[in-house]
Structure 1
Amino acid sequence: MKWLWPDITPVAKLVAGLSLLSLPAGFACAGEQYPDSDTLKLSYALENSAAMPCPGKEKQCYLTSITLTAPQAVSGKDWAIYYSQLSPAYQVEGDEFTVTHINGDLHRLSPGPGYQGLIAGKSHQVRLYSKGSQITRSEFMPNFVLVAGDAGSPLKVSEIGSTRLQTDPQTGLEIQPYLAPFSSMAQFKLGKSDNTPLADGRWLYDYYAAIGAAAATSIESGLIPSPTKLERFDGAGPSLAAGFKLELAGADSGRIKPAVASALTRLASLGFAEKAGGAPLRLVLAADEFAGDDVAGASVMVEKQAADNTASASRSEAYRLTLGADGITLVAGGEAGLFYGLQSLAGLIAPGEAQLPAVSIEDSPRYGFRGMHVDLARNFHSLEFLERLIVQMGAYKLNKLHLHLADDEGWRLEIPGLAELTEVGSRRCFDLDENRCLLPQLGSGISGESQVDGYLSVADYRRLLKLAKAHHIEVIPSLDMPGHSRAAIQAMEARYRKLLAAGKEEAAKEFLLTEFDDSTRYSSIQYYHDNTLNVCIDSTYRFVAKVVDEIAAMHQSEGMPLRLYHIGADETAGAWVDSPACKALKAKQGDIHSLNGYFIEKVAAMLAGRGIRAAGWNDGMGETRPERMPADVQSNAWGLLAEGGHNVAHRQMNLGWQVVISTPETTYFDFPYVSHPEETGNHWATRALDSFKVFSFMPDNLPAHAELITDVRGKRFSADDTEPLKPGKRAAGLQGQLWSEMVRSDDMAEYMIYPRMLALAERAWHRADWELEYQAGRNFSKDTAYFDKASEQARARDWQRFATALGQRELPKLEQAGIFYRIAPPGIKAEGGLLYLNHPYPGTKLEYRLDGGNWQPWTAPVAVTGKEIEARAIAADGKRRSRSEQLRLSGA
């Protein structure tokens, strides 16, 4: 066995003196044959997700294999395969091939000392052990790259055809033809102590039944998100066909129509349009009517709310909506309240129903901050995707769009004056010197023009701001620093080299983020050795100021001043240890307790001087000295509940900071919906995160979840409230997160967001009666039962209401809007010769087939015979299908 370890010298040094490729010993055999990327068959297999004991000193590892089969003999050694793997390979069996970790997730497979050539038609296998764990199919990246040629001639670089993704025509989901089937529990468990269930069709049947899957209830089952108070009256409301006639009243009524134009557009798209002679739709701005402390839904008043969640904000978003035979009256405390009232009116529209119900609604939000975070940096998502997202956020009363615009793998926003940020930093191709683009990471391929490449131009960003303003959404930009900054670092080094070659040394250094004399050796959490900008050099702060000022100018141009900037500020372990500049800074300052904290304090002060609040993730913010931070800052609390994350959140709330709950186990939408290898997602925090789990979240009582959820291995945990909340302290809001390492397309981004985002909106806008009140110092575990049977039953009834509204009203609306939402697969049970199916969302059509035969509709238990049953659900428009679930009949 041969040991391998990441090469932590800069990649540019690896290729010094060569054309583009760092070639292993014995690699240059000019003119000899090499594999053909179009005909080479490459297969990747997960053999064991928890190889125990691990070779060497690793505590956790997994075993995989790469198999190469060429139709023709290949005798030469002058080739290599570059590919992405999220965690580094560290040991290889045999000596026919070597696998070397380059940087980040980039690896190189090349002929080793025992290589004797590829025999035509014969499979050649390399088995390798890798650090950590990979458990879902989506974690195994596509687009392996074949590089061939010797050091003295131009290299031939091409993607291996057999490793490209395909699309299932029935589901629209990705297919990975290069990845061997997952058919063994050895591919599913994280070790012998892993209690995670395999969520197959039989398991789903019991799960859906347990959470309250039921026959469809009344179409008038409530709104999403739930209002504070809703009363129904006898008789019908206005007719959709007759439309409405708009009437505006109240102080500054001229502001009303522009403020609600996008909501009126949505009403029209659902069949309720403005028409002469239609039912009166009276919109009234009346701030004075919502001036008291008894605003419906304002659960905590000024002294208990952070600045972004004040009673004033609740009043501006509060509304009263009445529908009757004589028309519709909407009264609100502000323009946002009118907008949300009209979205509730849209929520009352049911597909196929010509009449609106007669109802009265009083409403205002639970939190002032109701957010959705989207990672554009790891893999880019289009402007059109973001526009669809903004429309749907507005529809469900979310009001903060947190855009993650820069990370190690990409910089996604044009910054005037720093062209290299997007010229180099927004593209991934095969240029190991990174003068033209970044390294190919995350299975990006090498074109630099694929769907994962790209950026928002200034015009694009301004267009987004305008649309967000029309939907009462604040856009919060985030360009992660000082860690997670490799794209910026490499782009500014490319700028430096270009200007230096032109003889412009001072200009070259102006925005440089690198101290070339820093010899620190480190590995980031994503295994980069060069992704942390130097916080001890002046040019770093010139760069930050330049970026912030340019973004602020974009916001100002659209009448949306930049009020909140998210620094990121997380995960910088190991950097700067041997930086001369940092050693000098520490000697001069004397009281720097954390260089990351120093950076955040300095940038927060810079932002405050520009009238901008600073935000960051809780781990980085926790490295600051609160007395040196502005009083008004935001922290996103993402600590794992299973590891005491509630205490971290409480600690920062007690500082008076605006803490936005961003708990991975319940708000990270890059995790699988259920614990099944076919479901897209990461796995480090939870194996399953479906809409019911989001719906069940109690963000005002974080430790209570020790009674309700398990850790990543399916085990119960304890939550001791060792840092209880002080009286009057609570969260400022709630935010859902989509990280994009494994999300390569707009469709898959929407698959991961919807319908979970609707459950997020439910909890961000509305506090359910079944949620446990927080009591300081109360501890929770598997042995406590504060969330009792009565609470469970109340939650089940509430979920049935939500699930019915989602299945019968909201999924068809998402379909109409062109949203690629997830279709949940059905549960399957065969008992007494009968086939039973169920589904979490009433009204969803189901179908089945026996032994691979024709698909048949399922509406009620049906007699079946054969060996295997396959079942799937159908989208609202009857076109797209869920992935199918199988069940082998007993005795088969």
Structure 2
Amino acid sequence: MKFLYTILLCVLSTVVFGQKQKTQDLDLAITWQPLENNHLKDEQGLSVLEIKNVGKTSLPKTGWKLFFNFIRVITPKTAGQPFDVAHLNGDLSCFTPAESFEGLKPGESLKYEMLSNSWMVNTSDAPQGFYLVWENSKEIVPIKPVTFVAPPDQKKFFRVGGDKETTPEMIFQANQNISDINESKLTKVFPTPVGYTENGKTLTLTSNLTIGYEAGFENEANLLAQDLTKLFGKKINANKLTNAKPTISLLKNDAAHEAYSLSVNEKEVIIKAGGGAGIFYGIQSLKTLINPAAFASNKNKSLVLTGVEVTDAPRFGYRGFMLDVARNFQHKAQILKLLDVFALYKINTLHFHLNDDEGWRLEIPTLPELTSVGAKRAHLDGKSSTLQPAYGSGAFIDQLPGSGFYSKEDFKEILRYATARHIRVIPEIETPGHARAAIKAMDKRYQNYLAKGNRAAAEKYLLHHLEDKSVYRSVQKWNDNVMDVAMPSVYTFLETVTDDIIAMYKDANAPLETIHFGGDEVPKGVWEQSPAFNRLKQSDSNIKTTADLWDYYFGKVSAMLKNKGLYLSGWEEVGLKKAIENGKSKWLVNDKFANQNVHVNVWNNLLGNEDLAYRLANGNYKVIISFVSTFYFDMAYFKKFEEPGFYWGGFTELDKPFSFIPYNYLKNQQKNYLGRQLSEKVLSEAQKLTATGKNNIVGLQGQLWSETIKNKDHLEYLLMPRLLALAERAWSKSPDWAEEKDESKAKPLYEQSLSSFYNILGKRELKRLNYYAGGFNYRISTPGLKVENDKVVANVQLPGFTIRYTTDGSLPTLKSPLYSKPVSVNDKLIFRTFDHKGNASSVSKLTK
């Protein structure tokens, strides 16, 4: 018997060793190339995967599964493809070997042609996150990132008639009306203040400067002292005002909230405001007055300030930015860095999107499963308690950006940091849709308590009914991501989460006025076969269909918040109801929550919803304009295969948020997400903003959803410099070009204003952001090119940046010739834009 056992052990050891050896030696290289949109005249894309074995061992005919993330559901183009494909859930799919697959030997490659259920535009559409799992050993083989190859025929890649890739010639045309303005003539405080004059004097600051403040401004004075300490490399102190006159004085007056005045002459700096916020913003203006180059050093001997007289106040009291850390996570250090730059440019609200289908990112002490399960993504092997991989996060647990969360102490540190800088943090707990991370975490809690025999504890926070047979599929292709709002345990869960959040704010001494409870993208079909819904219908005569659950749900959530002294915030759907008009489904304003201080972020200004923000504001909802086509900074800057970011809401170049007119946005944003002119019918029938509606426009907000964001550099590339356009439009008064009714006069006024903005960015603010708060990886626009008289003429979007080029097809560097005049045509010419620090744009070549 012992002999047989020994033989069996040897055989098993050999199998395991062979499997490990196979794992180590297997190496696959995967390339993806889109081929055609509108394949077979349908809204579908044709693309091809090429898989090459670059390892030392063969990929066998059977015994493995190849998992990957893809935001499309795919089918093989033809029968007889080497793999069978299955969509699992969300963006996770799996290849298994088909009967026709004969294995893949080292050096061999194969192609898999596939159809996806929508258009493809850029590399953000690519499949990603491939990993192979051996069926016997369950061992995982990670696969290198996918290589992208541009489509061979651009015309086949277009979505609709008139669609086209952005070319250097198009960029040249967009740039050609940008004037180069001498820096001495630029406003040196940003965002543009209400009143600004230069008095012809200068003040030289040295490390011997003194800061004096009146009572109530200690926090702001100390933050200023810290900033100046960083610039001089010598500790600067701030003290309460005495008889001695300081270099910088922070004084109290009766100005309105957030308003301030700033005076700089040859002797002193005086900032006056009615409260700490105004003083703080006066200090930020003082910082933008400092020469941007000074931020490159921590050993400045002196700082020379232009003498100015500034009076200023914000246009909107709400100047917000929403950051999604659920889809892909960002470290606490990056959040603090973002708070620094938000503060500099007077953004006063961080809307923190802390949970979604793919992750729960905030520790809730009462419910530890939310982060022990919901904050981790990994391959689902039947043993681990995690969420599945998403957006290419890979097979392994505890890896960024798929996994991660903020501990209670992390979050309180973020709150304290924000509060000191007069930034309020609005936590978003996305419900009832986009809630899969929470649902799965509470499922695990249920299983744990049930195993202990404690059914009551198991069911206390359950978020879906275990016998619900409802069939649905969300926009992101989940079939299990919606809380069952007919279950009392859902409200127990929400109140517990709310109480823990309130406690953290209290500990951090941070203001909390509202919690954002989401409300967007709940798919059709939910709750229809839920036993909880059927029971509720029997006990509540107001509930007849699942549509009635909307008011029921948000009514209970709003009441819960009111009992705690808070108001309800949500996405626009919170204030809407669906109705059928002329045979079509349309969103109408829901009177249920009007006049109740319910704040809604209106994101949808697409295809029939162009006037939705105004309809909600006129209907007495507090509206934060958060349009996808203008303020979604996860959208790509323009249409080009290599340009990262999504595009379903359109492309968002730098001028898009800058040109926004909050109270009359259809005046100059009259194109749909495909770049086509809106019809006269749409423009004429769109509801105009009433006086009541105007008072209900609370402010503007930028959004950065993180599906495509893999690290902090990706985040900063998408964010900057568009954040500065948002800051200008949210803080500064309505510009003259927006108020001018004569289009012939408005156009040159706008071009002059845009030129000033671009010059301020190129010559001042982006130079500052090379170093401020550790420096930012902002996007540098590619050069525009045009052929004139057998010469190539180049231009740049932001004056102050330079262009370099090569004539041999090599990549331009800082050692390459500086463009200063037209260059003779050469099919190997390559151009790049360079900033002041030497960072470069992507390449620009003549269109063949």
Answer yes or no: same fold by TM over 0.5.
Answer: yes
Distance of 1:145 and 1:497 partners within structure 2: 29
Distance of 1:278 and 1:69 partners within structure 2: 74
Matches of residues 246-325 of structure 1 in structure 2 within 5 Å? 246-248=211-213, 253-270=214-231, 274=236, 280-287=247-254, 290=255, 315-325=256-266
Q: 1:713 to 1:316 in 2, by over 3 A?
A: closer
Runs of 4+ in 1 over 6 A off after TM superposition: 30-37, 275-279
Distance of 2:722 and 2:325 partners within structure 1: 19
Residue 712 (structure 2) pairs with residue 749 (structure 1): no
Distance of 1:738 and 1:797 partners within structure 2: 29
Aligned-partner SS, 2:354? strand
Match of 1:301 in 2: none
Aligned-partner SS, 1:555? helix
The more displaced of 618-627 and 656-665 is 618-627
TM-score (norm 1): 0.84
Matches of residues 99-114 of structure 1 in structure 2 within 5 Å? 99-114=85-100
Match of 1:87 in 2: 72
Match of 2:655 in 1: 692
Query: Which amino acid in structure 2 is aligned with residue 672 of structure 1?
Result: A
Match of 2:786 in 1: 829
Residue 360 (structure 2) pairs with residue 411 (structure 1): yes
Match of 1:841 in 2: 798
Match of 1:677 in 2: 641
CA offset digits 1:126-164 (Å, max 9, x no partner): 2111112231102314320101124xxx31222113xx2
Match of 2:674 in 1: 712
Aligned length: 789
Match of 1:303 in 2: none
Of residues 587, 612, 616, the one that matches 1:652 is: 616
Q: What is the CA-CA distance between 1:706 and the residue it aligns to?
A: 4.3
Of residues 787, 800, 807, the one that matches 2:762 is: 807
Of residues 571, 578, 603, the one that matches 2:529 is: 578
Matches of residues 212-231 of structure 1 in structure 2 within 5 Å? 212-214=178-180, 216-218=182-184, 220-231=186-197
Q: 1:256 to 1:850 in 2, by over 3 A?
A: same
Of residues 50, 63, 67, the one that matches 2:50 is: 67
Distance of 1:450 and 1:213 partners within structure 2: 47
Match of 1:610 in 2: 564
Query: Which amino acid in structure 2 is aligned with residue 619 of structure 1?
Result: E
Q: What is the CA-CA distance between 1:243 and the residue it aligns to?
A: 5.9
Distance of 1:37 and 1:839 partners within structure 2: 48
Query: Which amino acid in structure 1 is aligned with residue 205 of structure 2?
Result: L
Distance of 1:590 and 1:787 partners within structure 2: 57
Query: Which amino acid in structure 2 is aligned with residue 886 of structure 1?
Result: K
Match of 1:189 in 2: 158
Q: 1:62 to 1:37 in 2, by over 3 A?
A: farther
Of residues 853, 867, 886, the one that matches 2:827 is: 867
Aligned-partner SS, 1:605? helix
| Contact 2:52–2:108 (CA under 8 A) maintained in structure 1 | yes
Q: What is the CA-CA distance between 1:197 and the residue it aligns to?
A: 3.7
Distance of 2:533 and 2:704 partners within structure 1: 34
Matches of residues 154-233 of structure 1 in structure 2 within 5 Å? 154-161=137-144, 164=145, 177-186=146-155, 188-191=157-160, 193=161, 195-210=162-177, 212-214=178-180, 216-218=182-184, 220-233=186-199
| Contact 1:478–1:567 (CA under 8 A) maintained in structure 2 | yes
| Contact 2:611–2:687 (CA under 8 A) maintained in structure 1 | yes
Of residues 322, 326, 336, the one that matches 1:387 is: 336
Distance of 2:25 and 2:36 partners within structure 1: 28
Q: 1:190 to 1:432 in 2, by over 3 A?
A: farther
Match of 1:53 in 2: 41
Cα RMSD of the aligned pairs, angstroms, is 2.5
CA offset digits 1:547-592 (Å, max 9, x no partner): 1110111011111132111000111122111111112212322223
Distance of 2:84 and 2:693 partners within structure 1: 56
Of residues 231, 240, 262, the one that matches 2:205 is: 240
Distance of 1:496 and 1:147 partners within structure 2: 29
Query: Which amino acid in structure 1 is aligned with residue 832 of structure 2?
Result: R
Q: What is the CA-CA distance between 1:805 and the residue it aligns to?
A: 1.4
Q: 1:744 to 1:496 in 2, by over 3 A?
A: same
Match of 2:583 in 1: none
| Contact 2:607–2:672 (CA under 8 A) maintained in structure 1 | no
Query: Which amino acid in structure 2 is aligned with residue 701 of structure 1?
Result: N
Distance of 1:219 and 1:344 partners within structure 2: 17
The more displaced of 736-745 and 554-563 is 554-563
Match of 1:363 in 2: 312
Percent sequence identity over aligned pairs:
30
Q: List alignment gaps of at least 5 residues for structure 1.
A: 1-29, 55-59, 165-176, 291-314, 775-785
Residue 728 (structure 2) pairs with residue 762 (structure 1): yes
The more displaced of 214-223 and 273-282 is 273-282
Distance of 1:64 and 1:392 partners within structure 2: 41
CA offset digits 1:201-258 (Å, max 9, x no partner): 2221111114x25365436434321111111222x2211336632232xxxx322121
Residue 512 (structure 2) pairs with residue 562 (structure 1): yes
| Contact 2:221–2:250 (CA under 8 A) maintained in structure 1 | no
Distance of 1:822 and 1:32 partners within structure 2: 43
Q: 1:128 to 1:33 in 2, by over 3 A?
A: farther
| Contact 1:432–1:439 (CA under 8 A) maintained in structure 2 | no
Matches of residues 338-349 of structure 1 in structure 2 within 5 Å? 338-349=279-290
The more displaced of 363-372 and 818-827 is 818-827
Residue 489 (structure 2) pairs with residue 539 (structure 1): yes
Of residues 328, 340, 355, the one that matches 2:269 is: 328
| Contact 1:683–1:712 (CA under 8 A) maintained in structure 2 | no
Distance of 1:701 and 1:497 partners within structure 2: 54
Distance of 1:243 and 1:871 partners within structure 2: 46
Match of 1:790 in 2: 745
| Contact 1:37–1:159 (CA under 8 A) maintained in structure 2 | no
Matches of residues 380-529 of structure 1 in structure 2 within 5 Å? 380-431=329-380, 433=382, 435-452=384-401, 453-529=403-479
The more displaced of 275-284 and 587-596 is 275-284
Q: 1:242 to 1:406 in 2, by over 3 A?
A: closer
| Contact 1:486–1:532 (CA under 8 A) maintained in structure 2 | yes
Query: Which amino acid in structure 2 is aligned with residue 335 of structure 1?
Result: G
The more displaced of 848-857 and 657-666 is 848-857
Q: 1:67 to 1:36 in 2, by over 3 A?
A: farther
The more displaced of 521-530 and 672-681 is 672-681
Query: Which amino acid in structure 2 is aligned with residue 693 of structure 1?
Result: K
Q: 1:721 to 1:324 in 2, by over 3 A?
A: farther
CA offset digits 1:641-677 (Å, max 9, x no partner): x424343212221232210000111000001112212
Q: What is the CA-CA distance between 1:33 and the residue it aligns to?
A: 11
Q: 1:268 to 1:791 in 2, by over 3 A?
A: farther
Q: 1:620 to 1:334 in 2, by over 3 A?
A: same
Q: 1:758 to 1:187 in 2, by over 3 A?
A: farther
Distance of 1:319 and 1:645 partners within structure 2: 38
| Contact 2:30–2:51 (CA under 8 A) maintained in structure 1 | yes
Distance of 1:330 and 1:414 partners within structure 2: 40
Distance of 1:765 and 1:630 partners within structure 2: 26
Q: 1:278 to 1:388 in 2, by over 3 A?
A: farther
Q: 1:274 to 1:220 in 2, by over 3 A?
A: farther
Query: Which amino acid in structure 2 is aligned with residue 586 of structure 1?
Result: K
Query: Which amino acid in structure 2 is aligned with residue 407 of structure 1?
Result: D
Q: 1:322 to 1:628 in 2, by over 3 A?
A: closer
Distance of 1:388 and 1:31 partners within structure 2: 46
TM-score (norm 2): 0.88
